C-alpha cells in the first residue's frame, strides 16, 4: 500500500487541486490510502465530505499531509513555505518547470533526497505529454475569453488601453486578427476557439508537419506560416492578438518575438504568452498573476499568467486527474521502482531521483551535471 497525500495549494488564487474525489475513489478501490488536507478541494467545488465519501482521509494541516504521504500530489510546484515540510525519500508529483523555478526548490529536493516527478514531462508512447495535454487544451480554449476582455475599449491597464475590437467583427467591419505562435495542442485549441467566434486566425510553427495538420483539421480556414524570423516579425505587426503557444518541456522557452518586434506592434495589441511557464517566448514577457494579470510594455498589453487554468479550477482538476490517474494506479500496484522500470514514459518525468538530478534535459537547461546532488 502507498500513502498518497493531497495538500491544499498555497499560491494566491491557486484553486486547482491535485486529485479529485473521483481519483481518490479509484485509488481507494485499488487498496491505496489517500490523505487530503482540509478544504484542499474547496476552490474547485469539492468538499471534505465529497472526499470522505470517496474513501479519503481528511487531515487538518499540510504538515500532516506531508508527514503521512509517501507520494504527494500537487498541481503547482511547491513554494518555499512547503519546502520545510518535505519528508526524506518522499515523491512529489507537480508541474515542476525546474529550469525556471527558484533555485531553492532544487536545493530542498536534493537536501531531503526527494524524488520529483514533473508531470509536464511524462510522455506517452507516441511522444505526447498526456498530463500537459488537458492543461494545454483548456488554456487554448480560454484565448477568446482573455483576448475579448483586454481588447475592450473600457479596459485601461496602467499605460495603455484596449483596441476596442470585437473578435468576430460584424458585417462590413473586419474581425480581429489572431496570430498564434506554435501549432501544438494549445495552439490548435486556441485556433479552434477563436475561429469559432469568427476571428481571422494565423498559426506559425517551424514544424511543417504541424502546419499540415492544422490545414487539414481546419479545412484551410486557418492561415499557416513557417515560423522563420521574417514571418514572425511580419505576422506580429498585423496581429490584434498575439498568442505564445511554444513549449519545450524541461527547457526554457526560446525567445521568438524580441523587444524590437514588440515596438513595431500597434499600441493596444494583446499578447497572451502561455510559454511563461517556461520563461516566455516574447522578450518583454514577465510572469503575472490571476489577481493582477496584465501590464503594459512598449504600448502592448501583456497577459502572462503561469497558472491561468486555475481560473477554471473544477474543469482543470477533473482533466488533470483523468490524465494522471493511470500512472498513480501503476505506482500503487507496483511501487515507484517497478513503475519507473516498466513505464519509460513515467520515468521521463523524473527530474530528481532520491536527491540526484535524473533528467538530462533539465540538467542541461540548468547547466548542471546528471546525478548532481546535495
Question: Does residue 260 have a pLDDT over 80?
Answer: yes
Same domain, 225 and 271: yes
Same domain, 261 and 213: yes
Choosing from 263, 278, 306, the residue where a domain stops is: 306
Same domain, 121 and 186: no
Alpha carbon of 309 to those of 99, 134, 221: distances in Å?
A: 21, 10, 27
The sign of the torsion formed by the CA atoms of 62, 63, 65, 69 equals positive
pLDDT of residue 203: 98
pLDDT of residue 373: 56
Same domain, 147 and 53: no
- Report pLDDT digits (tens) over 111-126: 999 999 999 999 999 9
Cell of 332: 500503487
Task: Count how many domains the chain has.
Answer: 2
Active site residue 97: yes
Residue 372 lies in a domain: no
Same domain, 111 and 138: no
Q: The CATH number of the domain where 295 resides is what?
A: 3.40.50.720
- Report pLDDT digits (tens) over 36-86: 999 999 999 999 999 999 999 999 999 999 999 999 999 999 999 999 999
- Report pLDDT digits (tens) over 324-351: 999 999 999 999 999 998 888 999 999 9
User: Can you tell me the mean pLDDT for 140-144?
Assistant: 98
pLDDT of residue 249: 80
User: Can you tell me the mean pLDDT for 216-236?
Assistant: 98
Q: Are 201 and 224 in contact (CB under 8 A)?
A: no
Choosing from 306, 328, 348, the residue where a domain stops is: 306
- Report pLDDT digits (tens) over 166-176: 999 999 999 99
Give phi and psi for 63, each to the nearest 5. Answer: -60, -40
- Report pLDDT digits (tens) over 175-218: 999 999 999 999 999 999 999 999 999 999 999 999 999 999 99
Residue 374 lies in a domain: no
Same domain, 175 and 52: no
Choose, from 97, 129, 303, 343, the residue flagged as catalytic.
97
Question: Does residue 5 have a pLDDT over 80?
Answer: yes
Same domain, 151 and 33: no
Alpha carbon of 237 to those of 124, 188, 257, 267, 364: distances in Å?
A: 37, 21, 11, 11, 34
Q: Are strands 300-303 and 356-357 parallel, antiparallel or unpaired?
A: unpaired
Question: Does residue 248 have a pLDDT over 90?
Answer: no
- Cα separation, 262 vs 302, in Å, equals 11
Choosing from 254, 284, 306, the residue where a domain stops is: 306
- Report pLDDT digits (tens) over 65-78: 999 999 999 999 99
Same domain, 112 and 190: no
Percent over 70 (pLDDT), the chain: 99
Same domain, 224 and 335: no
Active site residue 277: yes
The sign of the torsion formed by the CA atoms of 303, 206, 139, 176 equals positive
Choose, from 205, 273, 277, 348, the residue flagged as catalytic.
277
Same domain, 327 and 300: no
Question: Does residue 2 have a pLDDT over 90?
Answer: yes
Same domain, 125 and 149: no
97 alpha carbon, distance to own chain's centre: 9
Residue 280 lies in a domain: yes
Residue 373 lies in a domain: no
Residue 175 lies in a domain: yes
337 alpha carbon, distance to own chain's centre: 27
Question: Does residue 370 have a pLDDT over 90?
Answer: no
Percent over 90 (pLDDT), the chain: 93
Give me the chain's average pLDDT, please: 96
Residue 11 lies in a domain: yes
Question: Does residue 15 have a pLDDT over 90?
Answer: yes
Question: How close are the terminal C-alpha atoms of the chain, in Å?
Answer: 29
Give the residues across from 290 on adjacent strands.
none
- Cα separation, 16 vs 271, in Å, equals 25
Quote the domain boundaries for residue 336: 3-129+313-366
Residue 353 lies in a domain: yes
pLDDT of residue 189: 98
Same domain, 287 and 323: no
Q: pLDDT confidence of 372, banded at 50, 70, 90?
A: low
Amino acid at each position: 500500500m502507498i500513502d498518497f497525500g493531497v495538500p491544499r495549494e498555497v499560491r494566491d488564487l491557486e484553486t486547482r487541486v491535485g486529485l479529485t474525489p473521483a481519483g481518490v475513489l479509484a485509488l481507494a478501490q485499488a487498496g491505496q490510502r489517500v490523505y487530503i488536507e482540509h478544504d484542499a478541494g474547496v476552490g474547485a467545488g469539492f468538499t471534505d465530505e465529497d472526499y470522505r465519501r470517496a474513501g479519503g482521509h481528511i487531515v487538518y494541516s499540510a504538515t500532516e499531509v506531508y508527514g503521512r504521504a509517501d507520494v504527494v500530489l500537487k498541481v503547482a510546484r511547491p513554494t518555499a513555505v512547503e519546502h520545510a515540510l518535505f519528508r526524506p525519500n518522499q515523491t512529489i508529483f507537480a508541474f515542476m518547470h525546474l529550469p525556471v523555478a527558484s533555485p531553492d526548490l532544487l536545493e530542498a529536493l536534493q537536501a531531503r533526497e526527494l524524488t520529483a516527478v514533473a508531470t509536464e514531462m511524462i510522455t506517452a508512447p507516441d511522444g505526447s505529454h498526456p498530463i500537459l495535454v488537458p492543461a494545454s487544451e483548456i488554456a487554448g480554449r480560454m484565448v477568446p475569453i482573455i483576448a475579448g476582455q483586454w481588447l475592450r475599449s473600457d479596459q485601461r491597464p496602467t499605460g495603455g488601453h484596449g483596441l476596442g475590437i470585437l473578435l468576430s467583427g460584424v458585417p462590413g467591419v473586419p474581425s480581429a486578427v489572431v496570430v498564434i505562435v506554435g501549432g501544438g495542442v494549445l495552439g490548435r485549441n486556441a485556433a479552434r476557439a477563436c475561429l469559432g467566434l469568427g476571428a481571422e486566425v494565423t498559426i506559425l510553427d517551424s514544424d511543417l508537419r504541424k502546419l499540415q495538420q492544422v490545414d487539414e483539421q481546419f479545412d484551410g480556414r486557418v492561415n499557416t506560416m513557417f515560423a522563420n524570423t521574417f514571418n514572425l516579425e511580419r505576422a506580429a505587426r498585423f496581429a490584434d492578438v498575439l498568442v505564445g503557444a511554444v513549449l519545450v518541456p524541461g527547457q526554457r522557452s526560446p525567445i521568438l518575438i524580441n523587444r524590437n518586434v514588440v515596438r513595431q506592434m500597434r499600441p493596444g495589441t494583446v499578447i497572451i504568452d502561455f510559454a511563461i511557464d517556461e520563461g516566455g517566448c516574447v522578450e518583454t514577457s514577465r510572469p503575472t498573476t490571476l489577481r493582477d494579470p496584465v501590464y503594459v510594455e512598449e504600448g502592448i498589453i501583456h497577459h502572462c499568467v503561469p497558472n491561468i487554468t486555475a481560473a477554471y479550477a473544477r474543469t482543470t482538476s477533473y482533466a488533470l486527474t483523468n490524465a494522471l490517474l493511470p500512472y498513480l494506479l501503476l505506482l500503487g500496484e507496483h511501487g515507484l521502482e517497478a513503475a519507473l522500470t516498466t513505464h519509460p514514459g513515467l520515468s521521463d518525468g523524473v527530474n530528481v531521483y532520491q536527491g540526484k538530478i535524473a533528467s538530462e534535459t533539465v540538467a542541461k537547461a540548468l547547466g548542471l551535471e546528471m546525478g548532481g546532488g546535495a
